[in-house]
A and B are shown apart, each in its own frame.
Chain A
Amino acid sequence: MDAVIIDSGGANLASLQFAFERLGAKTRVSADPAEITSAARVILPGVGSAADAMSRLRKSGVADLLPSLTQPVLGICLGMQLLFERSDEGNTDCLGILPDEVKRLQPAQGRPVPHMGWNQLSPVRGDPILEGIAAGDYVYFVHSFAVPVTDLTIASADYGIALAAIVRRGNFWGTQFHPERSAATGARVLANFLRLS
């Protein structure tokens, strides 16, 4: 098994599973703490609201387990936001693995919210997850809340304001965009993650 995808109860895990399938990787969807603990890599997906996702993660015991994981962990979209301390979305206390708070995207220069569409990556510092990715490569975003650019940011994106597109601290990575729907660039990010150990 190359990675366990945490079942946070939301719909839409299929597109992520299919993306790993296209890379020839074996994944399993699970909410079982023992299975997650022993996984080579862990993916925290997320579609839906922060409050819903956190309450499901608390109920299954995964919320307590996640901060103690030592293998590579990748949070995707809402999954990335959950790694932080708190989200404006429903005033939700999140996992607190990463400092900072998730803020509502303020429409800047007349840009619509949600930020939904293809946007360009600006790498801020080198990281194995960015291997083969160039400044200006396009990835697909869908979100209404965002994390500001801080020293955890390894790539940013510009949507009238600068926002964190990829973050990392230690064994925890997060992408605000959806690599599973970001064509070749997204596939590269996932392939890079699968090489981490």
Chain B
Amino acid sequence: MELAARYRDEGADELVFYDITASPQGRSVDREWVSRVARVLDIPFCVAGGIRSVRDAEEILNAGAEKVSINSPALANPCLIDALSARFGAQCVVIGIDSQLTPRGYRAYQFSGDAQLTQESGRDVLAWVREVQERGAGEIVLNCMGSDGVRKGYDIEQLRKVREVCRVPLVASGGAGAVEHFRDVFAQAAVDAALAASVFHSGSIAITDLKRNLRAAGIAVRPPAGEMHS
């Protein structure tokens, strides 16, 4: 809750809440909590974690989220994407993909919230990106597992490949460790947004500084809270 309010005040453009252990534990994200956060947020709010049915999604949206993000449940039941998109519109349906380079190319992984249960889904990432768009996804978050947690930068090469086949907004995830990493991913992979967690939670990158730097580098971003646009 405190983090949510802090990010709102610093000028974050969107908040995504991942309850990453929900899917591996067979449960879904707490509605009451979603509602408490939605009450204080005046920016877009996306919620992920064990959303397995239209009903789950409806409860999350009714609690005040803007969008739901689906990862493992979509791999298990791709028709869920069609159903959610038909009911709520594509703009509500974000597909999260945990991707890793293997000898067979980039593959999508399930249950990545629990190292014991993480498994390769059997799907090729580029084919899955095409399929989820056909089924009605309105946005794709590509979490590159190879760079996630390492803070050495986003996986530009992989994001570029996905960008080529992704016509909906693409969000880069995994690897942010420094301001330049954000600059590079916007400039070199043409992503629509960049997501990060630990560098913001720890305070090693302040959103205000990051936005000032990106604007100075000529990347169009909303100015930090309280600062005028040029």
Chain A positions near chain B (C-beta within 8 angstroms): 10-15, 18-19, 21-22, 47-49, 107, 112-114, 116-118, 120, 134, 136-138, 140, 142-144, 178, 180-184, 186-187
Q: Check if B91 sits within 8 Å of A15, measured CB to CB.
A: no
Contact A112-B43, Cβ < 8 Å, known A47-B92, A136-B229, A144-B90: no
Q: Check if B62 sits within 8 Å of A11, measured CB to CB.
A: yes
Q: Check if A113 sits within 8 Å of B168, measured CB to CB.
A: yes
Q: Check if A138 sits within 8 Å of B64, measured CB to CB.
A: no
Q: Which of A18, A134, A143 contacts B39 (CB 8 A)?
A: A18
Residues from chain A with Cβ under 8 Å of B178 in the complex:
none
Which B87-113 residues have a C-beta within 8 angstroms of A?
87-92
Question: What is the bound-complex CA distance between A114 and B8, given in angstroms?
Answer: 24
Residues from chain B with Cβ under 8 Å of A112 in the complex:
166-170, 192
Q: Check if B42 sits within 8 Å of A47, measured CB to CB.
A: no
Q: Check if B168 sits within 8 Å of A181, measured CB to CB.
A: no
Q: Which of B13, B38, B225 contacts A184 (CB 8 A)?
A: B225
Question: What is the bound-complex CA distance between A194 and B38, given in angstroms?
Answer: 21
Q: Check if B139 sits within 8 Å of A116, measured CB to CB.
A: yes
Interface SS of chain B: helix, strand, loop or mixed? loop
Q: Which of B58, B90, B167, B229 contacts A137 (CB 8 A)?
A: B229
Which B55-102 residues have a C-beta within 8 angstroms of A?
57-58, 61-66, 87-92
Residues from chain B with Cβ under 8 Å of A183 in the complex:
8, 11, 42-43, 225
Q: Which residue from chain A places its CB closest to the CB of B167 in the assembled complex?
A: A112
Tell me the minimal C-beta distance from A141 to chain B in angstroms.
10
Q: Is there a chain A Cβ closer than 8 Å to B44's Cβ?
A: yes
Q: Which of A13, A114, A134 contacts B168 (CB 8 A)?
A: A114
Residues from chain B with Cβ under 8 Å of A48 in the complex:
87-89
Interface size class of B (residues with CB under 8 A): 35 or more
Q: Mark B156-193, 1 if CB is under 8 A from A, else 0.
A: 00000000001111100000000000000000000011
Tell me the minimal C-beta distance from B14 to chain A in angstroms.
8
Tell me the minimal C-beta distance from A54 to chain B in angstroms.
14
Question: What is the bound-complex CA distance between A178 and B66, given in angstroms?
Answer: 10
Q: Is there a chain A Cβ closer than 8 Å to B24's Cβ?
A: no
Q: Is there a chain A Cβ closer than 8 Å to B154's Cβ?
A: no
Q: Check if B88 sits within 8 Å of A47, measured CB to CB.
A: yes
Tell me the minimal C-beta distance from A176 to chain B in angstroms.
12
Tell me the minimal C-beta distance from A185 to chain B in angstroms.
9
Tell me the minimal C-beta distance from B215 to chain A in angstroms.
12
Q: Check if B61 sits within 8 Å of A12, measured CB to CB.
A: yes
Q: Check if A19 sits within 8 Å of B89, measured CB to CB.
A: no
Residue among B64, B167, B221 with most chain A CB within 10 A: B64
Q: Check if A14 sits within 8 Å of B192, measured CB to CB.
A: no
Q: Which residue from chain A places its CB closest to the CB of B57 in the assembled complex?
A: A11
Q: Check if A114 sits within 8 Å of B66, measured CB to CB.
A: no
Tell me the minimal C-beta distance from B173 to chain A in angstroms.
16
Residues from chain A with Cβ under 8 Å of B228 in the complex:
134
Q: Which of A49, A134, A182 contacts B89 (CB 8 A)?
A: A49
Question: What is the bound-complex CA distance between A19 and B61, given in angstroms?
Answer: 15
Question: What is the bound-complex CA distance between A49 and B84, given in angstroms?
Answer: 12
Q: Check if A107 sits within 8 Å of B44, measured CB to CB.
A: no
- 7 CB contacts below 8 A, A to B, read A11-B58, A11-B88, A13-B62, A15-B64, A113-B167, A114-B168, A142-B138
Residues from chain B with Cβ under 8 Å of A187 in the complex:
42
Across the A-B interface, give the 10 residue pairs with the lowest CB-CB distance, nearest first.
A14-B64, A11-B61, A138-B222, A142-B91, A136-B229, A12-B61, A118-B222, A116-B169, A18-B39, A112-B169
Known: A12-B61, A113-B168. 19 other contacts (CB 8 A): A12-B66, A13-B62, A15-B38, A18-B64, A22-B39, A47-B88, A47-B91, A47-B92, A48-B87, A107-B167, A112-B170, A114-B91, A114-B139, A120-B229, A136-B229, A140-B44, A144-B89, A183-B11, A183-B42
